[in-house]
Amino acid sequence: MPGAGTDKTKRWVETPGPVIILVEPQLGENIGTTARAMANFGLSELRLVRPRDAWPNARARAAASGADRVLDAARLFDTLEAAIADCTLVFATTARAHDQAKPVVSAEQAARDMAPHIAAGERVGILFGRERWGLENVEVGLADRIITLPVNPAFASLNLAQAVLIVAYEWFKFTTGGALPFQMPQKSAPATKEQLLAFFEALERELERVEFFRPAEKRETMTINLRNIFHRMQPTRQDIQTLHGVFMAIAEGRKGPARGGVLDGAGAQALRELLAEHVQGRVPSERGPVRGLSRLLRRNPTEAERTLWEALTRDRRFAGRGFKRQVPIGPHIADLVSFPLRLVIDIVPEKESDAAAEARAKKRAWLEQRNYRVVSLAAAAVEADVASALETLNAAMQEQGRPSP
């Protein structure tokens, strides 16, 4: 936007620098934009050799965008020889090889070369030619060295102010050591390891509730990878506080903890009873459960299912055994199943209707006819002592045996 970066309350940088000499500039606008480029990088001495248009020039002042002090101090000369008379070192800028035995340097090298001369109080001039054809051979012949830039050889011509800008930039960068005017503000201290570990614990707890770490045997690798994402970020304390608030808002929702679904434990159990009474949601034209039903059940576990699954996925005895939750097997959905072991875990609620109990019995018979072993665990017992439930499951698993390789 206009004036962006211009602050008249700050001190104007005035340090010794090279003299910018424009030879027969043709447009007032180019003189103005040259002054602006000089002001950007702390150069203040501008000399004009026979400018085509009248001077002072209103178009030059408009194009300078506030760099008036450069234009006000600009000096006019009738000849190039007069303009460089007090200089001890002169550079000529050109995009063309003039076949002259002079050192050819980049703008960066020119800045290094001229620095000791300027520091010694000498005057150094940099020549820039006309917009249409640049400097003539005789004018380049007055210089000590040539500055050229690494540009596209098929399109090497730069706008006059652009060329001045590049050279001025390299000079200013060299004299200031390339220091940037501002840095990213440190509004918060880096997060401590204590804060990060607390964040990881909370995050992983919520991810466990929605069964993110699947399969169970890859949980450790997934956890390390997840933590490394945040370690690479090098977050601040405020970053961690914000992230913690974000994922807790997602996990809890507007009405409190959803724990991975939309139903609480009682609601999830009621859903299962309703489905059992209606033959697991099937309609006569379908051979299996309604599409998406198993996903719905998986997203809304009962308290017993959640407790058993969290404990099972943390127990190395069950790693790699292929346990899954709420997976269709034919027309039925198993609470937990290991297809490699052909082992089904059936979590039995404390109270259920006669229709639900009858449907459970039919499901068990159907599974056993197909060589699945069904282990029934009381929901209340799982919630009261999940360790004992795991021992029961481990014993059944050992008895069932591992699948053939």
Q: What is the pLDDT of residues 306-352, one digit of tens each?
A: 899 989 888 888 888 888 888 888 888 888 999 888 999 999 888 87
Query: Residue-wise over 246-278: b if at least 16 C-beta within 10 A, else e?
Result: eeeeebeeeeeebbbbebbbeebbebbbebbee
pLDDT of residue 145: 96
pLDDT of residue 359: 84
Please tell me the total count of domains within the chain: 3
404 contact partners, CB below 8 Å, separation of at least 6: none
Which neighbouring-strand residues pair with 372?
none
Q: Provide the angle, in degrees to the nearest 10, between the axes of the packed helices 303-314 and 386-400.
A: 60
Domain containing residue 288: CATH number: 3.40.960.10
Which pLDDT does position 49 carry in this prediction?
Answer: 96
pLDDT band at 171 (very low <50, low <70, confident <90, very high): very high
- Domain carrying residue 329: 265-400
**Residue 181 domain-assigned (yes or no):** no
- Residue 183 domain flag: no
Query: Is residue 159 in some structural domain?
Result: yes
What DSSP designation does 77 have? Answer: E
Would the pLDDT of 17 be above 90? yes
Given pLDDT bands bounded at 50, 70 and 90, which one contains residue 1? very low
**Residue 182: per-residue pLDDT:** 79
Q: What is the CATH number of the domain that holds 164?
A: 3.40.1280.10
Average pLDDT over residues 45-73: 91
Q: Is 5 within a domain?
A: no
Tens-digit pLDDT profile for residues 96-115: 887 888 999 999 999 999 99
pLDDT of residue 111: 96
Q: In the structure, what pLDDT confidence band is assigned to residue 216 with cuts at 50, 70 and 90? A: confident
Q: Do 309 and 224 fall within a single domain?
A: no
Residue 287 predicted with pLDDT over 60:
no
Whole-number Å distance between alpha carbons of 199 and 357: 43
Question: Given 252, 273, 288, which residue is the final one in a domain?
Answer: 252
Whether the per-residue pLDDT at 14 is higher than 80: the answer is no
Q: Would you say residue 217 lies in a domain?
A: yes
Q: What is the mean pLDDT of residues 26-55?
A: 93
More confident position, 109 or 251? 109
Dist. CA 142–CA 8, nearest whole Å: 39
Count the residues in the chain: 405
119/211 same-domain check: no
Residues 142 and 36 in one domain: yes
Q: Are residues 385 and 288 in the same domain?
A: yes
**221 domain-assigned:** yes
pLDDT of amino acid 250? 78
Which bin fits 93, alpha (ψ -120 to 50), beta or left (φ > 0)? beta
Q: Pick from 388, 387, 302, 315: which is nearest to 347 by CA?
A: 302
* Six token digits for residue 126: 């940099």
Number of neighbouring beta carbons within 10 Å of residue 199 = 20
The tokens 């290991």 sit on which residue? 338
User: Measured between alpha carbons, how far is residue 400 from residues 85, 340, 378 in Å?
Assistant: 102, 11, 20
Assess whether 358 and 390 both reside in one domain: yes
Indicate whether 269 pLDDT > 90: no
Has residue 187 been placed in a domain? no
- Please give the mean pLDDT across all residues of the chain: 85
Say what percent of the chain tops pLDDT 70: 85
The dihedral through the CA atoms of 189, 195, 197, 200 has a sign that is negative
Residues 27, 169, single domain; the answer is yes
- Return the higher-pLDDT residue of 272 and 393: 393
Task: Please tell me the pTM assigned to this model.
Answer: 0.57
pLDDT score of 288 more than 50: no
Residues 209 and 80 in one domain: no
Q: What is the mean pLDDT of residues 169-197?
A: 88
The answer to whether position 4 is within a domain reads no
Please tell me which of 3-7, 129-133, 328-332 the model is most confident about, judged by mean pLDDT.
129-133
Same domain, 123 and 154: yes
Looking at per-residue pLDDT, the higher value among 90 and 393 belongs to 90
* pLDDT value, residue 106: 95
Q: Residue 44 gets which letter from DSSP?
A: -
Average pLDDT over residues 14-35: 92
- Whether 337 and 222 share a structural domain: no
Say yes or no: 314 and 286 in one domain. yes
Same domain, 153 and 288: no
Residue 283 has a pLDDT of 42
In this prediction, residue 7 carries a pLDDT of 60
Token pair recorded at residue 303: 């308290």
Looking at the fold, whether 156 and 29 belong to one and the same domain comes out as yes
Give the three-state DSSP class for 156. Answer: coil
